[in-house]
Amino acid sequence: MLDIKFVRENPEIVKENMRKKFQDNKLPLVDEVLELDLENRAIKQEVEALRAERNKLSKQIGGLMAKGEKDEAEKIKAQIAAEAERVDALSEREKAVEERIKVIMMTIPNIIDPSVPIGKDDSENVEVEKFGEPLVPDFEIPYHTDIMESFDGIDLESARKVAGNGFYYLMGDIARLHSAVLTYARDFMIGRGFKYCIPPFMIRSNVVTGVMSFAEMDAMMYKIEGEDLYLIGTSEHSMIGKFIDTVNKEETLPQTLTSYSPCFRKEKGAHGIEERGVYRIHQFEKQEMIVVCKPEESPMWFDKLWQNTVDLFRSMDIPVRTLECCSGDLADLKVKSVDVEAWSPRQKKYFEVGSCSNLSDAQARRLGIRVVSEDGKKYFAHTLNNTVAAPPRMLIAFLENNLQADGTVNIPEVLWPYMGGTKKLVPTKNK
């Protein structure tokens, strides 16, 4: 969320930013919020003047009564009463105006970083760098659920009966591999100096609106009926929410946390939930990383975060690339974002396995996350987040890139301790 003062002083910059994000439909909101801001400030001035006048007149009543000038005193009382009614009316209007200003300010997109490429949607994202050699083996790679089924490792049919499409049962070696990857990802991030945390898996509405745009909220979040609680779509939500309404001393920053959680997403507007696959699903588990830092440090942390994900995948022999998200693909709170995509030898292309974002002070402004310097100056922190690993999507890349011609799957050395020393998965049909 932008500062209203910034919008007031830079309306054309805000409008041009909307055009770069191809959100011309929001352009009228800038003029509307400026008119409301002007009205709001005028209301405050009038209310302040009326209250000052009331205090002045109130002091006169006692003197007039002491002099026996009751008629004059009653006139002043009537004037005070009339002005009190005016103050009440203005206060009601002020409340309505400020609520509308808040809604608009939470709808106006954040100012994107100058380095962000301009494009309408994810088809215009720009490749930055490749890591590892994307290979295509000389044998056919089955669909990922077929690989899992060869290990008796997935049951989608039973999951559909229990919960519907977009859910799954993972079993045996595949379930163990799933847990091993998450545990390794946890330890990998702890090794990078991040503090491990398991957060609440439900959050209140004020946290939801603090961490994401209205459009994201509608497309993603499951609400708990009858309660002011939502299931989290990613642990980033509750991790950033941990700092709500706090004033943090500069010397305590940066706060670098890595968290595990289940994630729940409606996937509203997605291109259909695959009935057979586990690429786009309603429930999954994830290791996440977040940073709360000083504004001048957020570009440095942005590069560190996506590099962590690249390094994690490369340690498991999975080729990846980074993709700079274009303006039209950026959610409204983000100023810059890089997707990490893993190589799929079956599809002969890359697919998204993680996303790293710098949100500048947008979330901090919404949630009231402040920093105080040694000289007492207060300002809003910057927040960043990035995916460490999100199986089972990550398992697709893992299985395809480590599959052998005989149907076995090699386990990279870094995962051996997490797999009880197992170095190779053997299909049940060959046991």
Q: What is the pLDDT along the chain (431 residues), one digit of tens a residue?
A: 899 999 999 999 999 999 999 999 999 999 999 999 999 999 999 998 988 888 788 777 777 777 777 778 778 788 888 888 888 999 999 999 999 999 999 999 999 999 999 999 999 999 999 999 999 999 999 999 999 999 999 999 999 999 998 899 999 999 999 999 999 999 999 999 999 999 999 999 999 999 988 778 888 899 999 999 999 999 999 999 999 999 999 999 999 999 999 999 987 554 544 445 888 889 999 999 999 999 999 999 999 999 999 999 999 999 999 999 999 999 999 999 999 999 999 999 999 999 999 999 999 999 999 999 999 999 999 999 999 999 888 999 999 999 999 999 999 999 999 999 999 999 996 54
- Cis bond upstream, residue 254 (ω within 30): yes
- The domain defined by 122-430 folds into BirA Bifunctional Protein; domain 2 (3.30.930)
Q: Which amino acid is at 86?
A: R
Distance of CA 417 to the CA centre of its chain: 33
Burial zone of 81 (CB within 10 Å; 0-12 exposed, 13-18 middle, 19+ buried): exposed
**Structure pTM?**
0.89
Q: Give the C-alpha separation, 400 to 366, whole Å.
A: 42
Using the Cα atoms of residue 178, residue 352, residue 411 and residue 316 in order, give the sign of their dihedral.
negative
All structural domains of the chain with their residue ranges: 4-105, 122-430
In the structure encoding, which two tokens stand for residue 96, read together? 């309505």
CB 371 within 8 A of CB 379: yes
CB 195 within 8 A of CB 258: yes
- The domain defined by 4-105 folds into Helix Hairpins (1.10.287)
- What single string gives the DSSP state of each residue in 109-127? PPPPPTTSPP-SSGGG-EE
Q: Give the C-alpha separation, 222 to 216, whole Å.
A: 12
Residue of 332, 48, 35 lying closest to 213 (CA atoms): 332
